[in-house]
Amino acid sequence: YALSGSVWKKRTLTWRVNSFPQGSGLSQETVRTLMHHALTTWGAESDLRFQEVGSQGPTEPDILIDFARAYHQDSYPFDGQGGTLAHAFFPGEHPISGDTHFDDEETWTFGSKDGEGTDLFAVAVHEFGHALGLGHSSAPDSIMRPFYQGPVGNPAEYRLSQDDREGLQQLYGRAPQTPYDKPTRKPLAPLPPPALPPDSPPQPLPDRCDGNFDAIANIRGETFFFKGPWFWRLQPSGQLVSPRPARLHRFWEGLPAQVKVIQAAYARHPDGRILLFSGPQFWSFQDRLLEGAARPLTELGLPPGEEVDAVFSWPLNGKTYLIRGQQYWRYDEAAARPDPGYPRDLSLWEGAPPAPDDVTVSNTGDTYFFKGLQYWRFPKGSIKAEPDSPQPMGPKFLDCPAPTVGPQAPRPPRAT
Amino acid sequence: RAREPSAQDVSLGVDWLTRYGYLPPPHPAQAQLQSPAKLRDAIKVMQRFAGLPETGILDPLTVATMHKPRCSLPDVLGAAGLVRRRRR
């Protein structure tokens, strides 16, 4: 899921159907009922409440629902049958925030058996996800996928997928459970055992602006910043998926609970597998943990007991570099064996800091060494750091201010 | 070999990728051409997001997906006006 970065501050949201579909076989009562169920779907997984209001109220409702055609006074005209079906505006102070528009030229249906038309309930649940602050998701079973997926079944029984629940809870927290809650729907699947012993005090969230990450990796175009049992994700657009860190073990399914720190991580070429390193071992993931057991780093050519500071795959030769302190080893992925003649001195990478927090290659092919709050950039194909390195990480990667004090690399004298 | 995308497909592809946030909107003042590499990367991100094989080209499956009914919002946030930007 992606988050829009905006949420409602209040927990009771008002809504009203301002106009109804013309020419579809659905009565106004049916449309209102479907909208009620679509909103209740999100309310059941959070402490949000939705209150329908009449048109005589003193103020406009938070979520005003309209069926409109072609150009309709916002900058997203509809395009007739098919194509774009609906849109909604993210939470905010603006009067249009939260408003949801459906293309009135679609054939809106409810409970259609022959697959004809477009199921209004399914699209309504999706659009209300946007009205609450969720972006599109690539998860196969998410209602927030951008493309119409067909009817989703009985509105009174429909439950959000795990991906959608987690997205909502990132924005609004977990739904409170009270002894008075009667399960109105099928009970949720049992939650996985907590990764932390229940009696441990809640951990304070780390501040990403402190830098000093344990590991940093470019994984499928997104940059992951690992710190203790947490991580942040930076989208290709340069936007953080969420300013709040996500829990390590809830995302990396199968990673043993006793692994508390990821020391290095990288996405391997060409198979795209993701390797997480902790201590003298590594775990390999595709979408889930593969092969289950931890593998020793000796498989990659390191001496027994040795650990790594940084690991990355260099696109120029497809080889994997494993850095520890001032030296590094190299592993030939194509031949599936360590290269002879290693370790070598890290000084080959001119300007690189010893014992980096991690190294990764950006989507544009530049290589970045990270350490503390700074990064050293090596242009694509080069093993010499840019002359203006190091630079502060905050502004470029973390949506943080540049540190005002702190050691800066001496600047080269200006040419007069 | 996959059928070469027609010029119309390519035009649809670029419009579609721009509309849904995979490509930045063109800057008439800068008159920059879309580099083939950027277009390929944008297609790959779209294919990955849609769960398609990442070929980087406008193959028939990708063009068919671009014709599917869908939500108007962009997939890559921040690229379209629907997101309310918080002032720093």
pLDDT tens for each residue of A29-73: 999 999 999 999 999 988 899 999 988 777 889 999 999 998 888
- Interacting residues of A162 by C-beta distance below 8 A, sequence separation 6+: A141
Determine, for residues B86 and A75 on separate chains, whether the beta-carbon distance falls below 8 Å: no
ipTM over 0.90: no
Weakest-pLDDT range from A63-77, A251-265, B43-57: A251-265
The confidence score (pLDDT) of residue A269 equals 76
Weakest-pLDDT range from A362-366, A399-403, B32-36, B64-68: B32-36
Model confidence at A372: pLDDT above 70: yes
Instruction: Please state, rounded to an integer, the average pLDDT across all residues of chain A.
Output: 84
Q: Is B50 on the interface with A (CB under 8 A)?
A: yes
pLDDT class for A181, splitting at 50, 70, 90? very low
Looking at per-residue pLDDT, the higher value among A1 and A259 belongs to A259
SS3 A246: strand
The residues pairing with A337 across neighbouring beta strands, listed in sequence order, are A332
Smallest Cβ distance to B82: which of A5, A87, A363?
Answer: A87
Model confidence at A336: pLDDT above 70: yes
> Which residues in chain B have their CB less than 8 angstroms from residue A135's CB?
73, 75, 77
Model confidence at A327: pLDDT above 90: yes
- CA dihedral sign, ordered A102, A105, A108, A112: negative
Model confidence at A349: pLDDT above 70: yes
Determine, for residues A118 and B69 on separate chains, whether the beta-carbon distance falls below 8 Å: yes
- CA dihedral sign, ordered A28, A29, A33, A39: positive
pLDDT class for B38, splitting at 50, 70, 90? confident
The confidence score (pLDDT) of residue A104 equals 94
Residue listed under structure tokens 């579609």: B16
| Mutation for testing the B interface, residue in A76, A103, A118, A237 having most B CBs under 10 Å | A237
What's the gap in Å between the CA of B87 and the closest CA on chain A? 12
Q: Does residue A127 have an active-site annotation?
A: yes
Query: What average pLDDT does range A227-245 have in this prediction?
Result: 81
Structure tokens at A374: 């700074």
Model confidence at A18: pLDDT above 50: yes
Q: Find the radius of gyration of the CA atoms of chain B.
A: 14
Model confidence at B86: pLDDT above 80: no
d(CA A127, CA A122): 9
- CA dihedral sign, ordered A205, A209, A211, A213: positive
Give the H or E element holding residue A119: strand A118-119
> Which residues in chain B have their CB less than 8 angstroms from residue A221's CB?
45, 48
Instruction: Name the residue among A5, A370, A31, A61 with its Cα closest to residue A211.
Output: A370
Model confidence at A100: pLDDT above 90: yes
Query: What average pLDDT does range B42-70 have in this prediction?
Result: 91
The confidence score (pLDDT) of residue A265 equals 94
The confidence score (pLDDT) of residue B28 equals 65
What's the gap in Å between the CA of B4 and the closest CA on chain A? 24
Determine, for residues B48 and A221 on separate chains, whether the beta-carbon distance falls below 8 Å: yes
pLDDT class for B33, splitting at 50, 70, 90? low
Instruction: Name the residue among A269, A7, A313 with its Cα closest to residue A134.
Output: A7
